[in-house]
Amino acid sequence: MTAPIRVLGIDPSTRNVSFVVLEGPTSLIDWGTKTTRKADSPRALEIIRGLVDRFQPQVVAIEDCHARGSRRCARVRTLLDEIVSTVAHEYEVCRISTGSLRSYGQTKYERALALAGRFPELQPRLPRLRKPWMSEDERINLFDALSCALACLGERQTR
């Protein structure tokens, strides 16, 4: 029997970096959000390097910011490209398009609900339903990171 693949899912945003670590599609090892305090790409990259060093994943899963449908700002797009150039020489990088994440739900909140049902330990992190006039809750990024990691595992299984 082969050991499950360890995947580090990362979702950077304006002021934080959310991450999950999976060993196979059912074992959630660790998760969290690290704050950069401001829009600080060097600090975010430092946090990500620390996560990669700590968890030693076989695969790093991130959003494909160049795919159709991505709505990332220019700074986060550059940061995602820097992540790839930083870790690609040692680890496999799996870029996931936002379209691939739709299998977990049409909206971010629907995906978060489905994933909180699948991983009950994340239910306390589930944000409230966002109204159109509300800003996006930063806790949703944790579920985006988990969606990327699971989508990456799904793609690897279909190969």
**Over pLDDT 70: what percentage of the chain?**
94
Q: How far apart are CA 143 and CA 131, in angstroms?
A: 18
The lowest-confidence range among 12-16, 93-97, 98-102 is 98-102
Domain 6-21+31-158 in CATH 3.40.50.1100: no
pLDDT, average across residues 87-114: 82
Calculate the dihedral angle through the C-alpha atoms of 121, 148, 110, 47, rounding to the nearest 10 degrees: 60
β-bridge partners, 62:
95
Q: What is the mean pLDDT of the chain?
A: 87
Residue bearing the bigger pLDDT, 105 or 158: 158
- What number of residues does the chain have? 159
The 10s digit of each residue's pLDDT in 124-142 is 999 988 888 888 888 999 9
Q: What pLDDT band is residue 102 in, cutting at 50, 70 and 90?
A: low
Q: How far apart are CA 30 and CA 26, in angstroms?
A: 12
Domain boundaries, the chain: 6-21+31-158
pLDDT, average across residues 87-92: 89
The lowest-confidence range among 7-11, 46-50, 102-106, 116-120 is 102-106
β-bridge partners, 18:
11, 33
Q: Report which listed range, 31-40, 46-55, 65-74, 105-114, is most confident.
A: 46-55
